[in-house]
Structure 1
Amino acid sequence: MSKNLHVGIVGSGIQGVSNALFLQKKGFKVTIFDRDNPGSPAASYGNAGHFSPYASLSLNRTDVLADVPAMLLSSTGPLALKWNYVPKMLPWFFKFILNTTKNKMMHTARNMHQILDLALPAYDELFDEINLDGLVENKGILYIWNDKDLKSRDLEIKVRDELGVKQQLVTKSEIHDLEPNIKPFYHAGVYYPYARHARNPKKILLKLFELFLKKGGKFEKKNINDIQFDTEKPVFVTDGERHTFDKIVIACGAFSKKLTDNLGERIPLDTERGYHVHFKDCDHLLSRPVIFSNRGFGITPMEQGLRVVGTVEFGGLDNPLSKSRIKNLISNAKYMLGDLPEHEDEWLGFRPTLPDFLPVMGPSKNYKNVFYCFGHHHLGWTLGPISGKIVSGMIAKENTNLNLDPYSSVRFS
């Protein structure tokens, strides 16, 4: 493999930057394109900041369909729809329902577990080269629940046991010892002591991006309007300019679909809209991220304060922010922690999600010099470096002992 090959990447979030850094390790020249600067208020900035190597069970579960109507009707529930988007989502929902059988659920869980197991070591490879300045904390992540929907909790515990995920079931008094400021509405929980969290995801992303530039990487703040080909070489078409590369990687999250559609590949990528607010100067109230499973939201102590994150809203890329979802996060936070000051920083971001809840990683079906790396739903932040490592290995034509077929876009054709 000739090492002076030039790779172009669309997307400067955690996926794009991780791909770039692992490609540089293999000797490739790399240029990243994005219409915004790295660290702009997109998904890699606004996520929950969890490094969650245990999270192999996704939303395509055998128990989820029975719960959907109740979730949609509940104002405190984790799920919402923008009704004007429902007609567009119907084909996606139909495929999603087909992926909630026991076999499909386990197929997703096994193949998420395969990459999640490698997620933290891949981060550490990159972290070894930067000064983290206390931006990552190793205090574990705690899930708590009340005594409703216990069948769903049993299912999660059982599936993770079956996969060999290390988990520590905790009692009421153990939860209280870990997080004494949470109001005692909970019944039990599970603690993942080896999980980590980011004190500021944006700062971590920018440190990795600076490392990329220091190693000779280039950044172009340009929107990619189209991808064309000069013989077999892919060409990024920006406003009035053409940039030719040996290989390219599409890693722009929820915005990847427009480009893959243009390449003649119908990948059913849609977006789960996620929200956050901050409660400033309150991060001393929690020592680690806490997720309240019944309501599908979590709170992470960060530099910006307590970041309250969560809810899944299906509504596409163009609908405005829903005030009701912000209210939902605020009332949930107060339910968990009691009195809190006025909230700040209302944020909406887009999680790129496929109906089988597995990412797309690997070559395009139609063009051998185009590679994909998107669709990581709630785990984009956790899976950035391992995905970059996997895709860079494919581009370098290295052998691997991983089974990468489940992540191929060919599964949708």
Structure 2
Amino acid sequence: MSEKSQKIGIVGAGIQGVCNALFLQKKGFQVTLFDRDEPGNAASYGNAGHFSPYASVSLNRTDILTDVPQMLISSRGPLALKWNYVPKMVPWFVRFVANCRKEKMMHTAKYMHQILDQSLPAFDELFQDINLEGLVESKGILYVWTNKSIKSRELEIQIRDELGVKQQLVNPKEIHDLEPNLKPFYDGGVFYDYARHARNPRKILVKLFEKFIEKGGKFLKLNIQNVDFDGELPVLRSEAQRFIFDKLVIACGAFSKRLTDKLHENIPLDTERGYHVHFKGCDHLISRPVVYADRGFGMTPMEQGLRVVGTVEFGGLENPLSKSRIKNLILNAKDMIDGLPEHKDEWLGFRPTLPDFLPVIGPSKNYKNVFYSFGHHHLGWTLGAISGKIVSKMVANENTNLDLQPYSSIRFS
């Protein structure tokens, strides 16, 4: 069967699904996207908007376990638990702890770096087809910290140096020169001058989606509830309809496990719940994203205002928004900048996370015509385009010239 006559279904119309769709179209496939919501209303709307090609050091660090108790005790810390969810998280946490050894940490960092290093060029391939005027800024991303967290920061710097990640250490004077409106609470930082940020992530996603439709793609707003097979061909089922495809891509973020479980794969996907608020009319106060590394949150200047985003909360998909996490963001922001007004737009989203902090990219363990693109934790936005490019080549049986085994779902067998 020629590629142009092959029909591909994609479940999920966030940044992963839309980027997969566009790269598959470039290969000549006929693509249909499914989502229960309109594109751009979930995690791809509410994220920090960072394009972070440097972010190879993930949460499975050798020093994290000694820090966790203090993080949980502190109401101002970067980590929180919904205690009613703890029993469900135990198997995930056991696997996570096993991935906090040095060799596992370095394995994750190496293979995150492999795809992060190609993340911006992959986006440029897609961005050349749309008008992004005013929506992406190349002013770098700044991380700041106090000496209380210096050991953790030194570990990150060392690992990135070993991987060849370009980073510029900055002292308090240099931080002030970059961002004069920050209060002088910091002792040092690092500046990634080649990083970018989105002024409005949702608008960018919608422009990519509109290009997909313009090129003949189809979108069906349906809640896909099941996957089964007609011979080797995957069949998607909503409540009232069925759709048969030659190949299928599952790219629905934190909700992907609901489908992979039906494919007899026990992939330990869970969710880090992330929050944001906006301070309207305050985007002029900083020139670029600023991340306060001690507290695991950051601020990004956006069209909607100054977006304050971050923290990690383990609590699954069903628990309600935590007002204490919102309060934490507000207080942290006011520790960094004076004169902020009343906040707006309290938002909760779900980061799909695996215990080794590597995504799942590639074919299903059990079904050769099903492919995965999920589990990118904090980096789903940054890795949207490169993941889509990789999956499109795998679907087309082309060589990627990358070592893709570390991203395979087989690692959880």
Identity of aligned residues (%): 76
Letter in 1 for 2:30: K
Q: Which position in structure 2 is the counterpart of 1:88?
A: 88
Is 1:292–2:274 an aligned residue pair?
Answer: no
Give 1:134 shift: 1.1
Letter in 1 for 2:31: V
Q: Which position in structure 2 is the counterpart of 1:223?
A: 223
Q: Which position in structure 1 is the counterpart of 2:40?
A: 39
Matches within 5 A, 1:7-406: 7-40=8-41, 42-406=42-406
Give aligned pairs, total.
412
User: Partners in 2 of 1:409 and 1:367 — Cα distance?
Assistant: 12
Give 1:400 shift: 2.1
Deviation by residue 1:266-295 (Cα, 9 ceiling, x = unmatched)? 000000000000000000000000000001
Give 1:239 shift: 1.5
User: Partners in 2 of 1:74 and 1:13 — Cα distance?
Assistant: 33
Q: CA RMSD for the aligned pairs? A: 0.5
Give 1:150 shift: 1.0
User: Partners in 1 of 2:50 and 2:56 — Cα distance?
Assistant: 14
User: Partners in 1 of 2:2 and 2:351 — Cα distance?
Assistant: 35
Gaps of 5+ in 2: none
User: Partners in 2 of 1:328 and 1:345 — Cα distance?
Assistant: 15
Letter in 2 for 1:296: G
Give 1:339 shift: 2.1
* Secondary structure, aligned partner of 1:236: strand
Letter in 2 for 1:12: A
Give 1:54 shift: 0.1
TM-score (norm 2): 0.99
Letter in 1 for 2:281: D
User: Partners in 2 of 1:174 and 1:400 — Cα distance?
Assistant: 40
Give 1:354 shift: 0.1
* Secondary structure, aligned partner of 2:228: strand
User: Partners in 2 of 1:247 and 1:401 — Cα distance?
Assistant: 22
Q: Which runs of 4+ in 1 moved over 6 A?
A: none
User: Partners in 2 of 1:400 and 1:348 — Cα distance?
Assistant: 35
Give 1:122 shift: 0.3
Deviation by residue 1:274-333 (Cα, 9 ceiling, x = unmatched)? 000000000000000000000110000000000000000000000000000000000000
Gaps of 5+ in 1: none
User: Partners in 2 of 1:307 and 1:109 — Cα distance?
Assistant: 28
User: Partners in 2 of 1:298 and 1:121 — Cα distance?
Assistant: 25
User: Partners in 1 of 2:286 and 2:150 — Cα distance?
Assistant: 25
* Secondary structure, aligned partner of 1:197: strand
TM-score (norm 1): 0.99
Letter in 2 for 1:344: K
* Secondary structure, aligned partner of 1:291: strand
Give 1:201 shift: 0.1
Deviation by residue 1:8-67 (Cα, 9 ceiling, x = unmatched)? 000000000000000000000000000001011x10000000000000000000010000
* Secondary structure, aligned partner of 1:148: helix
